[in-house]
Amino acid sequence: MSYQVLALKYRPQTFDEVVGQSHVTRTLENAITADRVAHAILFTGPRGTGKTTIARILAKAMNCRTGPTPTPCNTCKICKDIVEGHCSDVFEIDGASNNSVDQIRDLRENVTYMPATAPYKIYIIDEVHMLSTAAFNALLKTLEEPPDHVMFIFATTEVHKIPATILSRCQRHDLGRILLEEISEHLGMLCAKEGFTIEKESLDLISLEADGSIRDSLSLLDRILSAGPDKVIDHQKVVDNLGVTDRKVMHDISSAVFLKNGAKLIHIVEKVNDSGLDLKKFFSDIILHFRNLNVIKLCGRDNATINLTDLEKETLYQAVSELHPDYLGMLLQLLLKEESLVKFSSHTKTAVEMVLLKLIQISPGAHLDQIIGKLDLLAGQLESKLVESKLTEQALTGLATHNQPTITPDIPAPMPMASNATVLQTQESQEPYAPPPMETTPKTWPNFLIKIEKKYPSIFTLFSKARVDESIPESIQLELYNCSAFDSARLKTKQKELQDLCKKFLKKNLDIAIMSETQSLAKPDKQKASMKVAARNHPLVLDAQRIFDGEIINY
């Protein structure tokens, strides 16, 4: 074929032409100048970032007629042979297809021979992590002490799969993802060389879709330039050809969410669906967009670690300048939570619409710390009322069961109407009797339980089921039945702290008795007597005695 793709046609031939990896190329140039080049070098990084390209340039730099030199001439026979792949002393090996131990043994035997035409015999092994364990082991000795005329250059995208024994014998260089601005600038230069005119916005979109890979960006650009005969590339043609969501659509979605415009959100989803885009990829782009909004808000436009142009960073910053970080965080949390729903739904469009409509239900003023504070306050109030109601109900129920004492106040015989009228008139003339407030068990003990719950939630559960006896003024008797060995050990560990807390809060001593089921059955008389004493001293019983001037004659 006469046509050569852009990735091959414009492949860098010198260290200066490599895009976005100056930290690696500068190190290699200095090493060559100082004659400190390692005999085994490992390049690692994402795909399409220049690992194999730098390896070839290094091979030329070491074998150039004027070398070793950091600037190979690219005109001598050896340089040309390396570029064309014909050099007999530079071997490019695919680790995925040459991964057996036998092939590595052949390599180990061949390294002993001197190079034919070049100063060095160089082995470039791409995707070296694909070698088998036996192949790595066969390479160890040669890699540690190779002949002076041999050099190994490895390239891999998965460095974690390489044995530590190999890594320790190599000089490692990590290549990073290339910045969006650098890719966009490089693509613009190539378009000018090819005679095409393309908008900066289109170049940024291609660079963003390449995800830091210069080779991927060149492949995408090649496809776009081949889409039609026109030398002027329209932005909409780029969007349609890439099959991605236009960045303007992302801004429209976030704007509609902030303005609570559900109709606009539905319209955007309908438009994206009609264009044939993958809605699951579209939803992933939405998540990434709201992630960028969060980062811009938290870090500012200058310190934000997002792969966007300065113009788009400014646009995002203006969009969130008046919003609270907690609000943006809640939006992103909801999107991440519902991602699985969209991913596995058989009605993807409906799922995306539902999630976006959920976003507009979150109020910008509903800050997360305020919501949590209100929920904690309401929960505390509700728990206090529930515990107080439950304990009061248990106390009242206990008076009517378990052989409670019978109260038989003296009831006078019926009196004549006139006398009754006189008695009623006399009672009405007196001030109404107000029973004393019930401040012992119903109020103080529930409050103490609430305090326990905040500090020891598990012990609160045990205390809520315990039998409480406050018949002795200076102490509280607590009997726990059927406790497990774990609960018993935990109570013994915290007993001193609980007693101190009770003494401080209720001004009473706390006596905890752990009773087994056999103990509760073996001593029924003692339990019955204790219940009678508790019933007799209950505030309701005392009030009844006071009102009716009664006396307990059987209990």
Question: Quick one: 196 and 265 in the same domain?
Answer: no
% of the chain beyond a pLDDT of 90: 19
Question: Quick one: 22 and 112 in the same domain?
Answer: yes
Residue 52 pLDDT class (50, 70, 90 cuts): very high
Confirm if 20 and 45 have CB atoms less than 8 A apart: no
pLDDT of residue 547: 74
Between 264 and 459, name the one with better pLDDT.
264
Domain final residue, candidates 122, 145, 174: 174
Q: Is residue 334 in some structural domain?
A: yes
pLDDT of residue 208: 85
Between 439 and 479, name the one with better pLDDT.
479
Question: Quick one: 37 and 147 in the same domain?
Answer: yes
Question: Quick one: 295 and 355 in the same domain?
Answer: yes
Q: Is residue 373 in some structural domain?
A: no
Which DSSP string corresponds to 485-539? HHHHHHHHHHHHHHHHHHHHHHSSEEEEEEE-HHHHHH-HHHHHHHHHHHHHTSH
Least confident of 123-132, 401-410, 447-456, 480-489: 401-410
Question: Quick one: 226 and 258 in the same domain?
Answer: no
pLDDT of residue 397: 53
pLDDT of residue 467: 79
221: closest CA among 182, 246, 191, 189?
191
Q: Is residue 418 in some structural domain?
A: no
Query: What CATH number did the domain enclosing 123 receive?
Result: 3.40.50.300
Residue 358: is its pLDDT beyond 60?
A: yes
Question: Quick one: 86 and 167 in the same domain?
Answer: yes
pLDDT of residue 2: 73
Q: Pairing state of beta strands 406-407 and 232-233?
A: unpaired
> Angle at the Cα of 390 (from 388 to 391), degrees rounded to 5?
70
219: closest CA among 180, 195, 248, 183?
183
Between 219 and 542, name the one with better pLDDT.
219
pLDDT of residue 378: 66
- Give the burial string for 159-171 (b: 16+ CB within 10 Å, else e): beebeeebeebbe
% of the chain beyond a pLDDT of 70: 80
Which CA distances in Å does 128 have to 38, 107, 164, 171?
18, 14, 13, 14
pLDDT tens-digit profile of 450-486?
777 777 777 877 777 777 877 777 788 878 777 777 7
H or E element at residue 154:
strand 150-156
Between 542 and 444, name the one with better pLDDT.
542
Residue 271: is its pLDDT beyond 80?
A: yes
Average pLDDT score over residue span 428-443 = 45
DSSP 234: -
Question: Quick one: 268 and 227 in the same domain?
Answer: no
Residue 285: is its pLDDT beyond 60?
A: yes
Q: Is residue 234 in some structural domain?
A: yes
pLDDT of residue 384: 64
* Cα dihedral 548→553→554→555 (10° resolution): 70
Question: Quick one: 225 and 256 in the same domain?
Answer: no
Confirm if 150 and 110 have CB atoms less than 8 A apart: no
H or E element at residue 42:
strand 40-44
Residue 525 pLDDT class (50, 70, 90 cuts): low
Q: Is residue 396 in some structural domain?
A: no
Query: What CATH number did the domain enclosing 220 receive?
Result: 1.10.8.60
Domain final residue, candidates 341, 361, 381: 361
Question: Quick one: 15 and 122 in the same domain?
Answer: yes
Give the highest mean pLDDT range of 87-101, 228-242, 529-543.
87-101
Question: Quick one: 197 and 157 in the same domain?
Answer: no
Question: Quick one: 342 and 450 in the same domain?
Answer: no
pLDDT of residue 366: 52
When the pLDDT of each residue in the chain is averaged and rounded to a whole number, the result is: 79
Q: Is the pTM of this model over 0.85?
A: no
Distance between CA atoms of residues 478 and 405, nearest Å = 22
Residue 432: is its pLDDT beyond 80?
A: no
Domain span including residue 314: 247-361
What are the respective helix, strand and coil percentages of the chain, to the nearest 5?
60, 10, 30
Q: Is residue 382 in some structural domain?
A: no
Residue 174 pLDDT class (50, 70, 90 cuts): very high
Hunting for tokens 């974690």 — which residue is that?
Answer: 160
Q: Is residue 380 in some structural domain?
A: no
Residue 365 pLDDT class (50, 70, 90 cuts): low
Question: Quick one: 122 and 153 in the same domain?
Answer: yes
Domain final residue, candidates 174, 193, 225: 174
Distance between CA atoms of residues 476 and 470, nearest Å = 5
**How many domains would you assign to the chain?**
4
Q: Is residue 275 in some structural domain?
A: yes
Confirm if 512 and 495 have CB atoms less than 8 A apart: yes
pLDDT of residue 15: 92
Query: What CATH number did the domain enclosing 471 receive?
Result: 3.30.300
Query: What CATH number did the domain enclosing 354 receive?
Result: 1.20.272.10
